[in-house]
Amino acid sequence: MKKLSIYIKGTAFSVLTLATLFSCNIRKEYERPKEITPENLFRTDMLPKDSSSMAALSWREIFTDPILQGYIEKGVQNNLDIRIAIQNYEAAEAYLKQSKAAYQPTVSIGPNYTFQTQSVNTQFGQIIGERRYINQFDITATIGFEADIWGKLKAQEKAQIASVWGTIAAHKAVKNDLIAAIASSYFQLLTFDQQKKIISKTIVIRESNLETTKALKEAGILTEVAVQQSEAVVYNAKASLIDIETQIQILENTMSLLMAEPSRVIERSTLEAQKIPSEIAVGYSASLLANRPDVMRAEFNLMNAFELTNAAKAQFYPTFKITGSGGVQSVDIDHLFSINSLFASVVGGLAQPLINKRQIRTNYDVSLANKEIAYLNFRKTVLTAGKEVSDAIRVFTVQDSFIDLKTKELNAYKNSVNFSQELVNYGMANYLEVLTANVNALNAELNISNAQYNKMKAVVDLYKALGGGWR
């Protein structure tokens, strides 16, 4: 037993020495690529100099409608995609525990029974001259340990840590997308409600104009053509009303799905009641990479691929393993627990891969390709982030001016309708001019409604682009 102890201590000392000398030379440490985050990642030419970042704010500070806040909270709690993301995290955490356990010795113990008989017609059987039967009983414990000389196990552990953090980032990204989807759908519903009111009011006005047209025809001022044209625009408005009501119901179904609920009517306020907090400035975030979950996930994926490359490289080098076994063994179960039945063995050695080097090379080449793919995806994600920020900033900063111009356009069309109708009443204009001005006025009013929605949607997009939506 003393000799066995000396052997184990000597082996352990050798392993530690080899690990100190070589492991640091094999496994490389991850460093973020410097070229991945350029200074001009996104455009800032539209930004005020003193603006502050929206990325530092909670979604509750942006979306102040209490009804909307309730829907977001319900979605975060119930959404099935979020629950799937949580399970992905649980799976990654389990794999991490497994990678940490690789440092520990493997231990197994169990009883065995072996029955054996030899053929009489073999050379051994001819010598014995008769068939013999052998029963063997044993209880064996086996201990195995692999020394992490080249940093393979460490690389695998770090790869799994990156994978766990990647699932956490993915979870945040799902929340980010969910909050944005619920908010956008809610604002779209409010927009449809407003447009439904506009179209309903338009139907009433056009039906009134139709009666006026019929009266003017009876008076000989207009022809049947004007009556038919007036009827056509009434039918057009009624068809638009059916379409908008359909869109409302479809969007209600979508919001119900986002909250993992059966399709139902969605309670809501009005578009006019929505307010953007005055303390919110547009601003751009210097910590974009630290906030956006998709960017974080892309980098964690790169870390994972980097460490798996380290692990694949370590496969080219010898593996040092220590295996020990011991227990009791006997051909007679009555003597199984006798002192004479004890046995033990310890084997330690280096195994250099020879025959399977092509397989190891293939695994290493694949790991290098996967690392490059992860790098390119990381770079693409960062560039996409910059594009989304630039887009959202542009839309957000110009909407007020756009709405102002569209409002002036609407007022001009309304005046045109009034003037045209008056001229028609006196037989001084074609009724087609009235219809054209009426249609243009409706379109302008709907465009204003869409612009108001686009402004609210830009807030959602900008907040999401800056990575704050998951808080």
Per-residue pLDDT of the chain (471 residues; tens, 9 = 90+): 445 455 444 555 454 454 444 444 566 788 878 766 655 555 544 444 433 455 566 788 888 899 999 999 998 888 777 777 778 767 767 766 665 555 566 667 767 767 777 766 766 666 666 777 777 777 777 776 666 666 677 777 777 877 787 787 778 888 888 898 999 999 999 999 999 999 999 999 889 888 988 988 888 877 888 889 889 999 999 999 999 999 999 999 999 999 888 999 999 999 988 887 665 555 555 455 557 888 888 888 888 888 888 888 877 777 767 677 777 777 777 777 778 777 777 666 555 565 567 787 888 888 899 999 999 998 888 888 888 888 888 888 888 888 899 899 888 888 887 777 777 666 666 777 777 888 888 888 999 999 999 989 988 888 787 776 444
Please give the single-letter amino acid code of residue 234: V
pLDDT of residue 51: 38
d(CA 445, CA 240): 14
pLDDT of residue 186: 95
24-103+149-317+356-465 under CATH 1.20.1600.10, yes or no: yes
pLDDT of residue 350: 54
pLDDT of residue 42: 54
Numbered ranges of CATH 1.20.1600.10 in the chain:
24-103+149-317+356-465
Backbone φ and ψ of 214, nearest 5°: -60, -40
Token couple for 121? 């017609």
Number of neighbouring beta carbons within 10 Å of residue 344: 11
Backbone φ and ψ of 319, nearest 5°: -105, 125
DSSP label at residue 30: P
Number of neighbouring beta carbons within 10 Å of residue 305: 23
pLDDT of residue 38: 57
The backbone region for 129, taken as left when phi is positive above 0, alpha when psi lies in -120 to 50, beta otherwise, is left
* Closest alpha carbon to 55 in 382, 393, 394, 334: 393
d(CA 443, CA 65): 28
Reported pTM? 0.70
pLDDT of residue 50: 37
Which CATH architecture group holds 107-147+322-351? Single Sheet (2.20)
pLDDT of residue 53: 53
Strand partners, 344: 326
Number of neighbouring beta carbons within 10 Å of residue 8: 14
* Closest alpha carbon to 138 in 327, 325, 324: 327
- Contacting residues for 72 by C-beta, under 8 A, at least 6 apart: 59, 63, 179, 182, 183
DSSP label at residue 265: P
Strand partners, 117: 133
Give the three-class secondary structure for 207. Answer: helix
Token couple for 207? 């039906």
Token couple for 181? 């989807």
Numbered ranges of CATH 2.20.200.10 in the chain:
107-147+322-351
pLDDT of residue 193: 95
DSSP β-ladder status, 342-351 and 319-330: antiparallel
